[in-house]
Structure 1
Amino acid sequence: MCNKQFVHLHMHSDRSNSNMFECVSKPEDYIKLAQEQGAPAVAFTEHGTILNWVQKKQMVEKAGLKYIHAIEAYVTESLDEKVRDNYHLTMIAKNEEGVKEINRLSSIAHNREDGHYYFNPRNSFEEIKNTSDNIIILTACLGNPLWQHAKNKNKEAFSRWMNFFAENKHRVYLEVQPHTDPEQVQYNKILLRMAEKHGMNLVATNDVHALNEEHDNLRQIMKKAKKIEFAGEDELDLTAKSRDAMIESFETQGVLTREQVETALDNTMVIVDSIEEFEFERSIKYPQLYDNPEEEFQKRIKKGLKTRNIARLPKETQKQYAKRIKHEYATYKKTGSVNYMLLERTVKDFTEPEKIYSGYGRGSVSGSLIAYLIGLTEMDSIEHGLNFERFMNPERISLADIDSDYYKPDRDRVQKFLLEHPDLTCASIVTKNTVGLKGAIKDIGRSMGYNADVTNEITKKIDDDGDYPFDLYEAHKELFDTAFKVVGVMTSIGRHAAGVVVTTRDLDSEMGTMTISKWDYPVTELTMKEVDFLNFVKLDVLGLDNMGLINITADLVGLPRLTPDSTDIIDFEDEKVWDSMRESNIGIFQFEGVRAGKLVKDLFQPQVISKIRKQNPDLKMIDLLSLLNAAQRPSGASTIDSILMGEFHDNGHEALNDFFKDTLGYLVYQEQQTAFLEEFCGWSTAQADLIRRGIGKFLPS
């Protein structure tokens, strides 16, 4: 048995399925196998994409292995003609600059407007020719240009590619594979001659498409179900073999000598050892749109003081506002987020003249007075007693994040404004579509010869959470057992409905972008979590029909747009309104479900309201609805029954009961948590927010 190390430098996971289904093996499967085989590194060479490369690097390094950034690119002779040559070529990044170069090439290849994308994302021969020494090239499988031109007796094209490879022999390896396919045998002989003639190095790979024989069988089943065929591929053993198994396969093939095989396998380690490791660049990446951001920020704040009529408030109140503004401004400076607030304001500069309205203040940004002054929210945080540190904490510097709700027909207009902005580089965020149990049953069933009517009946008995009757499993055990093995496999990609990465940096090289059908803009090759990890700004442009319903209704009855500052026309204590809500919960935001509707009926019974008013006559109906909205969530499980009966919880001290009087004696809101820690424990607002955040992240052991 050979104890030498060997690394698969040509390997595909299910992330190669973005264009066409090819694999069921996941990156984590290969990483575990690499550990078992004693391989020091892992390389993924997905077809035409670097999808999920950040997550892959994280997983590889967590396993104590070296991450190798690579791709199996599709290559065309020329972009001028639409010819589906689409040859294969493996490229490996030698260092961080090589990573960026591969990312850029992958991004360019996805351009659907200039001839690059034609059935597959492609790079031209000229682009490959112009790659730098930061990239190592392997000549790939039988789909590579050398073999295709040799087979088709295209001597001129063969010579052009061979000359390029020979001129770059310091970074080009001729890739031999151990398959017994007649074409592979013939091609390996050509590579041996070229290596001897030009003094070039061989490297051994297996064009891995499956972890093992079981995964390869599953791969064939899924391909059959999706009616995907590759001529001659089914006869090839494309599993992740050990070094010993590779040697045995080459001996069976009979082209290379044992010494040549050993050298070609050793060269995988020569390549691995030549690759420089790199760190993630995780600085916070706020895009700068103004030459002097602070001056612009101050101008916007001063304008807001006028439009929000702060000068008309009593002098003492104005001092309170001034103190809060000074504190918030210092925090925005310290956290470097002035540019972020101006970016959000830039979006409003587009939407307001177009009468595209966002929500009044979603989430923690409602705690920022400056956000209210510059028009990002409609919530006066001082008037409503909202906490700023929950949004921006100087003791917890993290990427600012504001979610904005728009009427769904307006959402694409806002996204397109960002994606087409001349001073920004933006992209939608990729999503991965994976196989669920129902889909797996249908795919596997189709391949196993099940009638579609039968699999449809089976899937009807599987609920959305994947639960199913045991007798159903017993009746179709083989089908279920096979289907379980492909659940979670990525089958295609899409785009996130709301998320847009916004930057002034080069997304193509730092992240990698791709394109998808029916969307005219770039899409990241990284998922939402990866984008967050690298600290790129993403704007969540969310769709919410209620925003449109409110605005359209106000417009139809001739009212100005309703905001918290313009609700004096509404009687929030109107008993007829509350009675109608008890009768029907249709159209009540966050209370449209069956359970939520019953909760509204129970809490707003006249006898319950009367009981509550005896304890707290000043408690408003709208505040009770807010309390119910919080209490209906999982965290309110221990208090919801008492709240529905209008029972006050006695905390054993007058000061505590007074503090919690508006929530019937219970600690319900996150703002209450921080206010409690400040008032009763002596913590600073920033320190209290750290505790609040910790409580929110608590996971039971």
Structure 2
Amino acid sequence: MDTDFVHLHVHSEYSMLDATCRIEELLLQAKEHEMGALALTDHGVLSGAIEFYQKAKNYGIKPIIGVEFYLAPRGRQDKAPGRERYRHLLALAEDERGYKNLLKLSSLGYSDGFYYKPRIDLELLEEYGDGLIITSGCKSGVLAKPILQGQPKEAEEWARRLRELFGPGNFFIEIQDHGLQEEQGLLEELVRLAHRLDLPLVATNDVHYIAPQDSQAHEILLNIQTRDKEERRSYEGDQYYFKSSEEMAKLFSAHPEALENTLWIAERCSLDLELEAPHLPRFALPQGYKSPEDYLRELAYRGAQERYGYGYGDGGDGELPEEVEERLEYELRVIGEMGFASYFLIVWDFVRYAREQGIPVGPGRGSAAGSLVSYCLGITDIDPLEYGLLFERFLNPERITLPDIDIDFCPRRREEVINYVTERYGRDRVAQIVTFDTLAARSAVRDVARVLGLPYSQADKIAKLIPFGSPLEEALGSVRELRRLYDSDPQIKQLIEISKKLEGLVRNPSTHAAGIVIAPGELTDYAPLLRLSDGSLVTQYDMVALETIGMLKIDLLGLRNLTVIADALELIKANSREDLQLRLDLER
């Protein structure tokens, strides 16, 4: 490593409403301080891991992926009210095996141990602990918390358990100094414990914001989620920022080995993710077909004969026009060479199911309409030959990326299609995809004003001065009244300055309107899961991250127009007994 210290305990905006650090800002700080490596350890989640990994590589910084877990002291099934719910424990992936275990642990925290927070326990750590380096966490950590509660013997018992479980070279006692009085006695006790049990120390700073001057904005962010003044949360002081190696060396001059161990851990963590290699599920072939390519060819030619065959269906031989056969052969060859035959079969299958069930399906949208194979399979209803649509806009043999077919369904029955896909491929292999709602300018102003105690009428007035979709900085330059209030009223200036720091940060996760992901095996072997407030499980990775790691994502969109048309056809049938079918005619 280039410096004498590496940050191993770092939170980004994906520690939602608990940190103000954007991933790009963290990496810029690491670059500025000439740190050769940096960890990302958000609370319970890996949502930012892929973005962090890619950007760190681009900056020439070694990415260390980790999680600050919530550990249930009495086991993850203990959900008795009134008892201690969790303590913190930090885990870093030493290699791909460790990364895979982080995926499992983070997912199980939500699916199996959730109680206020996504919790794991020693049983899960024993099962999924390989390839992980463990540290004892912050002052809410597995050792610090009992010490602060006057239970040093309990802390020692936990230290012995974790040393036995992970081995002395894989479990570190974490020490921190944020200038708090309670931390001084805690630090001394942790050092004594480490010496007594012959465990290594590691020094960290619990990074939740970039610079000391961000501490107020951070406190405001913490309290956006609270409604009662008595519940107001605060991190004491202004020291939870991205400190330099020099600052850390000064703080821990009495424990140089704790600083050196950050470099040792960073050297050991060597994760190399294989990105963008497609992870396609297998399509179950009917008996008699040896490969997805064979079956796709059969279906495509069958569909082509129905679409184009001379006299097909009227006693003719179904011979195809030369132009159709040439284009079909070309597309099938490209699809086969790129390894995407299974993808087309999967999409064909659920579209076929929807049509058979009478679920209205759209005629096709986007570049997929340029594929003759899609047209012959009935995935789309637009003839690419008639309208001169290019296959290469959809699937380019010179650019190996998964094809992207968006399908419109009647929103009233879209869930039936999702259920079909889930049952077809397995509940453990299919999930809907997360999207992250962010603090837009107007909502940031209203939230910050509420926490600052400003009247709602005043906050509403300021928020309404901001044009929809306009960033605060832009609004200040274009809205005279907003600028006048900013320049003349210190209270409003403070409101806007804090709002600018929080604007764009992740506020909460929700379900993507259309996206689902299908994995070739258990989904949590590839991507972690997250529990939403309504109890549903979605991926922790968003659409971009899933695409980056090569997962098959499909957009099953709900288009209300299809429902309106279907209802209209039903009413016509009920009143006139005419059973009309919708046919797309682009010439009219």
Q: Shorter-chain TM-score: what band?
A: 0.7 to 0.9
The Cα of 1:432 is off from its aligned counterpart by 1.7
2:405 alignment counterpart:
402
**Following the alignment from structure 1 to structure 2, what is the Cα–Cα distance between the partners of residues 396 and 142?**
49
**Following the alignment from structure 1 to structure 2, what is the Cα–Cα distance between the partners of residues 387 and 12?**
45
User: Does the Cα contact within 8 Å between 1:13 and 1:27 map onto a contact in 2?
Assistant: yes
Does 1:539 find its partner at 2:554?
yes
Q: Note the 1:493-508 alignment, pairs <5 A.
A: 493-508=509-524
Letter in 1 for 2:518: V
User: Does the Cα contact within 8 Å between 2:97 and 2:130 map onto a contact in 1?
Assistant: no
The Cα of 1:550 is off from its aligned counterpart by 1.9
Encode CA deviations 1:446-473: one digit per residue, 9 max, x unaligned: 2333210111122222211323522222
Change (3 A) 1:246 1:398: closer
The Cα of 1:124 is off from its aligned counterpart by 1.2
Identity of aligned residues (%): 27
Q: Note the 1:288-299 alignment, pairs <5 A.
A: 288-291=282-285, 292-299=291-298
Encode CA deviations 1:534-569: one digit per residue, 9 max, x unaligned: 2221111112111122222222212332123xx6xx
Change (3 A) 1:144 1:421: farther
2:62 alignment counterpart:
66
**Following the alignment from structure 2 to structure 1, what is the Cα–Cα distance between the partners of residues 479 and 61?**
42
1:108 alignment counterpart:
108
1:30 alignment counterpart:
26
1:447 alignment counterpart:
451
User: Does the Cα contact within 8 Å between 1:25 and 1:211 map onto a contact in 2?
Assistant: yes
2:490 alignment counterpart:
none
Does 1:463 find its partner at 2:429?
no
Question: SS where residue 71 of structure 2 aligns?
Answer: strand
2:76 alignment counterpart:
79
User: Does the Cα contact within 8 Å between 2:213 and 2:238 map onto a contact in 1?
Assistant: no
2:311 alignment counterpart:
312
1:473 alignment counterpart:
483
Does 1:518 find its partner at 2:518?
no
TM-score by length of 2: 0.87
1:237 alignment counterpart:
239
The Cα of 1:340 is off from its aligned counterpart by 0.7
Does 1:165 find its partner at 2:167?
no
**Following the alignment from structure 1 to structure 2, what is the Cα–Cα distance between the partners of residues 481 and 232?**
19
User: Does the Cα contact within 8 Å between 2:334 and 2:397 map onto a contact in 1?
Assistant: yes
**Following the alignment from structure 2 to structure 1, what is the Cα–Cα distance between the partners of residues 329 and 451?**
67
**Following the alignment from structure 1 to structure 2, what is the Cα–Cα distance between the partners of residues 124 and 289?**
37
1:672 alignment counterpart:
none
2:263 alignment counterpart:
269
1:639 alignment counterpart:
none
Change (3 A) 1:221 1:321: closer
Q: Note the 1:388-399 alignment, pairs <5 A.
A: 388-399=391-402
**Following the alignment from structure 2 to structure 1, what is the Cα–Cα distance between the partners of residues 364 and 234?**
59
5+ long unaligned stretches in structure 1: 251-257, 573-619, 623-701
**Following the alignment from structure 1 to structure 2, what is the Cα–Cα distance between the partners of residues 279 and 44?**
15
The Cα of 1:184 is off from its aligned counterpart by 2.5
**Following the alignment from structure 1 to structure 2, what is the Cα–Cα distance between the partners of residues 95 and 355?**
49
Question: SS where residue 350 of structure 1 aligns?
Answer: helix
Which sits farther off after the overlay, 487-496 or 86-95? 487-496
The Cα of 1:316 is off from its aligned counterpart by 7.7
Letter in 2 for 1:512: P
Change (3 A) 1:371 1:318: same
The Cα of 1:284 is off from its aligned counterpart by 1.9
Change (3 A) 1:429 1:159: same
Does 1:485 find its partner at 2:501?
yes
Q: Note the 1:246-395 alignment, pairs <5 A.
A: 246-250=248-252, 258-260=253-255, 262-291=256-285, 292-305=291-304, 307-308=306-307, 310-312=309-311, 318-395=321-398
Which sits farther off after the overlay, 147-156 or 94-103? 147-156
5+ long unaligned stretches in structure 2: 286-290, 488-492, 574-578
2:288 alignment counterpart:
none
User: Does the Cα contact within 8 Å between 2:517 and 2:551 map onto a contact in 1?
Assistant: yes
**Following the alignment from structure 2 to structure 1, what is the Cα–Cα distance between the partners of residues 450 and 57?**
39
Question: SS where residue 401 of structure 2 aligns?
Answer: coil
The Cα of 1:16 is off from its aligned counterpart by 0.3
User: Does the Cα contact within 8 Å between 1:25 and 1:215 map onto a contact in 2?
Assistant: no
TM-score by length of 1: 0.74
Does 1:191 find its partner at 2:182?
no
Does 1:136 find its partner at 2:133?
yes
Question: SS where residue 169 of structure 2 aligns?
Answer: coil
User: Does the Cα contact within 8 Å between 1:284 and 1:536 map onto a contact in 2?
Assistant: yes
Encode CA deviations 1:212-264: one digit per residue, 9 max, x unaligned: 111112111333454385777324621222233234445xxxxxxx342x111
The Cα of 1:482 is off from its aligned counterpart by 2.9
1:42 alignment counterpart:
38
The Cα of 1:503 is off from its aligned counterpart by 2.0
User: Does the Cα contact within 8 Å between 1:423 and 1:504 map onto a contact in 2?
Assistant: no
Letter in 2 for 1:443: D
**Following the alignment from structure 1 to structure 2, what is the Cα–Cα distance between the partners of residues 554 and 394?**
42
Q: Which has the higher contact order (CA 8 A, sep 6+)?
A: 2
Which sits farther off after the overlay, 408-417 or 62-71? 408-417
The Cα of 1:306 is off from its aligned counterpart by 5.5
Letter in 2 for 1:135: L
The Cα of 1:303 is off from its aligned counterpart by 3.9
Does 1:430 find its partner at 2:434?
yes
Letter in 2 for 1:563: R
User: Does the Cα contact within 8 Å between 2:179 and 2:239 map onto a contact in 1?
Assistant: no
The Cα of 1:518 is off from its aligned counterpart by 2.0
1:615 alignment counterpart:
none
**Following the alignment from structure 2 to structure 1, what is the Cα–Cα distance between the partners of residues 502 and 116?**
26
The Cα of 1:157 is off from its aligned counterpart by 5.2
Give the RMSD, CA atoms, in angstroms: 2.5
Change (3 A) 1:382 1:231: closer
In our comparison, the structure showing a higher alpha carbon Rg is: 1
Q: Note the 1:557-568 alignment, pairs <5 A.
A: 557-558=572-573, 559-564=579-584
Question: SS where residue 120 of structure 1 aligns?
Answer: coil
Letter in 2 for 1:162: A
